Amino acid sequence: MNRNGHIGLTLLITSAILYFFNLKDSTSLLTALFIVILSTLPDVDLKWEIPHRRYTHNISAGLVAGVCFGFITMYAGIGFIPGFIGGLGGVLCHLLGDLLTYMPFNPLWPFYSLEVSLRLFKSSSKTVNNLFLAAGFTVFTYYLTTIYYGIEVSIP
């Protein structure tokens, strides 16, 4: 997946969680936005020129990101938990998105060696990535309108 696809998929996931659990508080919304922002973090391996989907595309990297971002948000006065969930959740959503593509990777590295891929579409597919982005923004907008702001929406 590219950046648009990861952001869209993560918006879709976090908005659905916020909606179904009727979460209206600002901390929940901020945590969801942290998850969305950090959902592209694993692709830093492309900029660092290290093997793609090796060191940054696994649960261990998610835990490290969660702890690091948790301390950042704790010292910023927001608290550790929103940052931890943001870092871990962002990486996990990224892994879920990459799992859907053709290129296999090892999400349990270094603890278990098993490369996985559902091979549903090419990660470079502009159509799929833009559809995820559109779906994510649509569901997020619906959540903001109906749950966060409490505006009734009737669909004829």
Q: Tell whether omega for the bond before 42 is within 30 degrees of 0, i.e. cis.
A: no
Q: Is residue 50 part of a domain?
A: yes
What pTM did the predictor assign? 0.94
Q: Is residue 47 part of a domain?
A: yes
Q: Is residue 51 part of a domain?
A: yes
**Which class for 96: exposed (0-12), middle (13-18), buried (19 or more C-beta within 10 A)?**
middle
pLDDT tens digits for 121-141? 999 999 999 999 999 999 999
pLDDT value at residue 29: 97
Q: Is residue 122 part of a domain?
A: yes
Is 4 strand, coil or helix?
helix
CA distance 11 to 6: 8
Q: Residue holding tokens 């593509």?
A: 101
Tokens of 40: 């592209």
Q: Is residue 86 part of a domain?
A: yes
Q: Is residue 153 part of a domain?
A: no
Q: Is residue 156 part of a domain?
A: no
Tokens of 98: 């990459």
Tokens of 124: 């470079």
pLDDT tens digits for 18-67? 999 999 999 999 999 999 999 999 999 988 888 888 889 999 999 999 99
Residue 124 phi/psi, 5-degree rounding, is -90, 0
Structural domain including 8 reads 3-148
pLDDT tens digits for 92-112? 999 999 999 999 999 999 899
